[in-house]
Structure 1
Amino acid sequence: MTTPTRARAARRTACAAALLLAVTALPTSTAAATDAASHVEGQLPSGATYMMDVPAAWNGTVLLFSHGYTPAGAPNPAQNGPDAATKALLLDRGYALIGSSYATTGWAVTDAVPDQLATLSVFTDRFGEARRTIAWGRSYGGLVTTAIAERDADRIDGSLSLCGLVHGGVANWNNTLDPVFALKALLAPDADIPLTGLPDQAAATSAANALTAEVDSAQSTAAGRARIALAAALHNIPVWNQPTQERPAADDWDAQQANQYQAVKGLLQIAAFHRRQEAEVRAGGNMSWNTGVDYARLLGRSSVRKEVTELYRKAGLSLRADLATLNRAPRISADPGAVDWMSRTSSFTGKLTKPQLSVHTIGDALVPVQTESALKRAVTAAGSSSLLRQGYVDNAGHCTFSPAEQLAALHTLEDRLTTGKWRGTDADSLNSRAAAADPTTPARYVPYRPTPYLRPYDLAHHSDGQ
């Protein structure tokens, strides 16, 4: 063990060398001590930047945060926490927070995972080995976190996914294709609107705007609204999906559809064309398909099928006929090489070797809560179900967790790592943890069981995603 005198000498030497931080050399699994809170920013050999915040009274746990999707061309700063309020609470409790920018933007999993692990190595070199390392992330960062949990579990002790794309890349792009396919087939069958194979972002903008215009026009008629609801159902878009929306009554079909209409437009403007185009470039082609898909069967499994049937009845429109139209429409085939790339880089085996807690809001339109069903399917098939637990927050929107809810999830995972057993993963216990962690923000965990993910695809099944 390094003596206090030698530690002080080491710190004086570090300061004299103009290092940003003082580091004490400690044995494996022993946290380094610092005289004051430290904030470090730097750059990795990949070009990614990193950020580290270490409190003076570091508790020995480092949280490796993976941020969400950054659009191509957007600012790409390093991030080491989900939001300022949650970061402040964590630092106050002694956690070290680290994270990188990833070297590239977009569907950057092949950069994100090595950049995150490299950031962890830089942290260890500077501060010493952490007593405990937890990987966590939100949204696309949940996919990055789960990739680390499956492929680099030796670097971490456990993982926490928040509102994550835990269904994996192939499933994501298949399920993103279905609603736009339905909108085009039912609202604009003769329009020249490409759904895949977009050559550049300008073409993505043109296609997104063209189909959005068709949706806006359709929203003015009862038949159009019913068809928009059908498209929404194929993506499991919830009827309450933004905190600013009124939560509609269980039988207020019109209010439910009005909420979905806004989410459908968001899907068109965000993921269905612009993000798809960037991902297709990385994959080397179109990585999704709907050949062989029975849309009547998909609707039958959707979380909002009742709303669709009621709106069709109200409009005097034949749902059977529209489903037949969808099933007759010319289908889209995938590029096998692109599917292989997306499968290898961005899909999951379900084989966990360290505990993972995955948490989702129930009103998420961008990454529907049913992704948790896909994760559970893969983990169960791989024989790892004892290592996975899932929690659900009764709120609308994507990643709209309170600081209290996020700390409750973290503390629940930590309890599992300490005791070797899952305890307190029920909604009441999670809410009690949340209230204790931060009584100033909401605690809204609820008992919940999501319906099936409509187009699952994982490496634990020999499945074509239907």
Structure 2
Amino acid sequence: MKTFCATQRTLPRLALAGMACLLAACAPVPTQPVASAQVSAVAEAAPTATPCPKDLAPIARCLSGQDSAGAYYLIALPQQWNGHLVLHAHGGPALGAPKMERSVEDLERWAIMVRAGYAWAGSTFRQGGVEVRAAAEDTERLRQIFVQHVARPKHTILHGQSWGASVAAKAAEMFQRTADGKRPYDGVLLTSGVLAGGTRSYDFRTDLRVVYQTLCNNHPRPTEAAYPLNIGLPRDATLTSRELQARVNECLALNKPVAERTPEQQRKIQTITDVVHIVPSSIQGHMAWATFHFRDVVQHRTGGTSPFGNAGAYYRGSADDGALNAAVLRYRADPAAVQRLAQDTDLTGSIPVPVLTVKGVNDPTAFVELDAYFKNTMERGGSGGRLVQTFTQHHTHSYLSDPTYPTLLTALLRWVDDGVKPTPEGIARQCPEVEATLGKGCAFLPGYAPAALNTRIADRERP
């Protein structure tokens, strides 16, 4: 199985610009804790009153603003406030300039926090795209705005959802003391998290691109200029998300019922699901990530070269694995690009406060095996004793259920206040009590433990 930086179908100019084979190894640079005061060098303006989403309007007041770095934010303070703040780091990330609508959508999704008595604050982040450290800074800046202009909470719980879980974990590593020597965060809640760092969490999307191209050969088409698939798209490509969706449907007919697909289309879908280990309904979303977000990373975060590769990966699960592995395009991750992405997105596992996680075992977006990798990271970083992981039967990613999150917050705060470390069994027992007021939705699996990440995503050579 030959591995090379640029295939025969890759244009020389692109090979020179983005696919040079570098053999030197690069080690990730550890995150160094910094004082929270270093985030904001200027005085932040006070937020102003703004209407709450209509479902929260009867029980809360809302404030909004734009911070000195350009991020918009929204704060909700319930009338019956329990004194605690949930500081939210959102998922995604979206591409493009920040918009206040993002924070409104986040508050609407996480309204359960306010209904349960918690103050809530969420930032849009100053920019779109995959930049974890900047998003962590924006999250910490919002905490300071809340403390300076709204109230001083009893406890601050840092909550990260999906990609935002990596932002929250990074913030907990970066900001361990305030200017007066206190901890900025008392606990961390990570939900449906992408928790293996950028250098490993997205390997399967590289695999999806090369397997898809082998089967479909339309992204790019044979009539279009070739480029290395691990850059997502060339900088000047004009392909839109709608056009990408049309190409995928052209090959796989994902927009049609199963009965209306051809046997060949269904065979290709089955190959992708069996080899890449994703469900058919998530193929479009992951293809978009592996296209537009990969381009964002390469063009704006890693200096024009790709941190993604599949050299040495052996794909299993197809009707003919030998033929598939001989056919897929191969790429080596650029060591310098890997170093840059690792510095920004990879975690050290050095978090000084309690961390509680939850993940649906059938999450179609952030695989449950990512949590196994995160557990190892926390143990390597000396924080394994401050981590409790929980899992549920849910098949969803963006939101599990109303009673799930207040149950976890209650357990986390008891850990913070009384030193009583929760157990998955205890959390599973407590959840039905919350259902009485918040509705059904408890589905904890206290005996579940995820398999290692490499049982789902093929191992590969790494610089």
TM-score, shorter chain, exceeding 0.5: yes
Query: 1:25 is matched with which residue?
Result: none
Residues 433/331 of structure 1: CA separation in 2 closer, same or farther (3 Å cut): farther
3-state SS of paired residue (2:295): helix
Contact 1:134 1:156 in 2 (8 A): yes
Note if contact 2:96-2:127 (Cα within 8 Å) is conserved in structure 1: no
Q: Map residues 82-93 of structure 1 onto 2, 5 A cutoff.
A: 82-84=106-108, 86-87=110-111, 89-93=112-116
Aligned mates of 1:342, 1:57 — CA distance in 2: 43
CA distance in 2, matches of 1:157, 1:397: 28
Letter of the aligned partner of 2:122 in structure 1?
G
CA gap of 1:75–1:352, structure 2 versus 1, over 3 A, is closer
- Relative to structure 1, the CA distance from residue 64 to residue 133 in structure 2 (aligned partners, 3 Å threshold; closer, same or farther) is same
| Residues 465 and 213 of structure 1, relative CA distance in 2, 3 Å threshold | farther
Query: Which residue of structure 1 lines up, in the alignment, with residue 449 of structure 2?
Result: 449
Matched, 1:156 2:192: no
Whether 1:286 aligns to 2:320 is: no
Question: Which position in structure 2 is the counterpart of 1:417?
Answer: 416
Change (3 A) 1:212 1:450: farther
Alpha-carbon distance in 2 for matches of 1:290, 1:132:
44
1:24-66 deviation per Cα after TM superposition (whole angstroms, max 9, x unaligned): xxxxxxxxxxxx9542211111111122222344332111011
Q: 1:228 matched to which residue of 2?
A: 269
CA distance in 2, matches of 1:132, 1:49: 23
CA apart distance, 1:80: 7.6
Quick one: which amino acid aligns to residue 252 of structure 2?
Answer: V
Please name the residue that 2:103 is paired with.
Answer: 79
Structure-2 residue corresponding to 1:170: 199
> In the alignment, which residue of structure 2 is the partner of 1:32?
none
Residues 361/129 of structure 1: CA separation in 2 closer, same or farther (3 Å cut): same
2:291 alignment counterpart: 273
The amino acid across from 1:294 in the alignment is: Y
- Residue of structure 1 equivalent to 2:8: none
Instruction: Specify the code of the residue in structure 2 equivalent to 1:369.
Output: V
Give the 3 Å change call, closer, same or farther, for CA 281–452 of structure 1 in structure 2.
same
Aligned letter for 1:65?
A: H
Q: What is the aligned partner in structure 1 of residue 320 from structure 2?
A: 319
| CA shift in 2, pair 1:455/1:99, >3 Å | farther
Indicate conservation of the 8 Å contact 1:65/1:99, yes or no: yes
1:145 and 1:159 in contact (8 A); partners too: yes
CA–CA separation in structure 1 for the residues paired with 2:189 and 2:410: 10
Q: Deviations over 1:61-101 (max 9, x none)?
A: 111011122432476225288553742x4334432211211
Q: Secondary structure at the match of 1:403?
A: coil
Q: Which residue of 1 aligns with 2:180?
A: none
Contact kept in structure 1, 2:210 and 2:329, CA below 8 Å? no
CA distance in 2, matches of 1:339, 1:349: 16
Q: Which of structures 1 and 2 has the larger relative contact order (alpha carbons within 8 angstroms, sep 6+)?
A: 2
| Cα distance, 1:417–1:321 mapped onto 2, change above 3 Å | same
Shift in CA distance, 334/19, structure 1 to aligned 2, threshold 3 Å: closer
**SS of equivalent to 1:69:** coil
How far apart are residue 120 of structure 1 and its match? 0.7
Give the Cα separation in 1 of the matches to 2:422 and 2:170: 25
**How many residues are matched?**
384
Q: Measured at CA, do residues 408 and 203 of structure 1 come closer, stay the same or move farther in structure 2, by a change above 3 Å? A: same
Identity %: 21
- More deviation in 156-165 or 186-195? 186-195
- 1:67 pairs, out of 90, 113, 135, with 90
- Give the number of the structure whose residues are more often helix, by fraction: 1
Letter in 1 for 2:205: T
SS of the residue corresponding to residue 393 of structure 2 reads strand
Pair 1:216 & 2:253 matched: yes
User: Which one of the candidate residues 193, 202, 210 is aligned to 1:181?
Assistant: 210
2:315 counterpart residue number? 295
Q: Partner amino acid for 2:126? A: A
Inter-partner Cα distance in structure 2 for 1:363 and 1:455 = 15
8 Å CA contact 2:310–2:332 kept in 1: the answer is yes
CA shift for structure 1 position 163: 0.9
Does the residue aligned with 2:454 lie in a helix, a strand or coil? coil
Report Cα offsets for 1:158-179 as digits up to 9, x if no partner: 1011111111111122221112
Matching residue of 1:299: none
Aligned equivalent of 1:252: none
Scaled by the length of structure 2, the TM-score of the pair is 0.73
Correspondences of 1:390-401 after superposition (within 5 Å): 390-401=389-400
Asked if structure 2 preserves the Cα contact closer than 8 Å seen for 1:356 and 1:387, the reply is yes
Q: Which residue of 1 aligns with 2:27?
A: none
What SS class does the counterpart of residue 395 from structure 1 fall into?
A: coil
Q: Determine the C-alpha separation between the residues in 1 that align with 2:47 and 2:138.
A: 22
Q: Distance in 2 between matches of 1:102 and 1:72?
A: 11
Q: Is the 8 A contact 2:72 2:103 kept in 1?
A: no
Distance 1:85 1:183, change over 3 A: closer
Checking the alignment, whether the CA contact within 8 Å between 2:362 and 2:396 is kept in structure 1 is: yes
2:164 and 2:193 in contact (8 A); partners too? yes
Alignment of 1:40 with 2:63, yes or no, is: yes
- The match for 2:404 is 405
| Equivalent position to 1:103, from 126, 149, 153 | 126
Q: Is the 8 A contact 1:39 1:52 kept in 2?
A: yes
Kept in 2, the 8 Å contact 1:204–1:273? The answer is no
- Give the Å deviation of 1:383: 3.1
SS at match of 2:389: strand
Describe the SS at the equivalent of 1:368: coil
CA offset digits 1:335-358 (Å, max 9, x no partner): 323211210011111222111111
Distance 1:456 1:196 in 2: 20
Letter in 1 for 2:119: A
Cα 1:149/1:75, change in 2 over 3 Å = closer
User: How far 1:151 moved relative to its partner?
Assistant: 1.9
Note if 1:366 corresponds to 2:365. yes
**Could you say which residue in structure 2 is the equivalent of 1:261?**
280
Q: Secondary structure at the match of 2:158?
A: strand
CA contact (8 A) 2:192 2:360 kept: yes
Query: What amino acid sits opposite 1:264 in the alignment?
Result: I
Code of the residue aligned with 2:314 in structure 1: it is: D
* Separation in structure 2 between the aligned mates of residue 216 and residue 19 of structure 1, nearest angstrom: 48
Distance 1:19 1:330, change over 3 A: closer
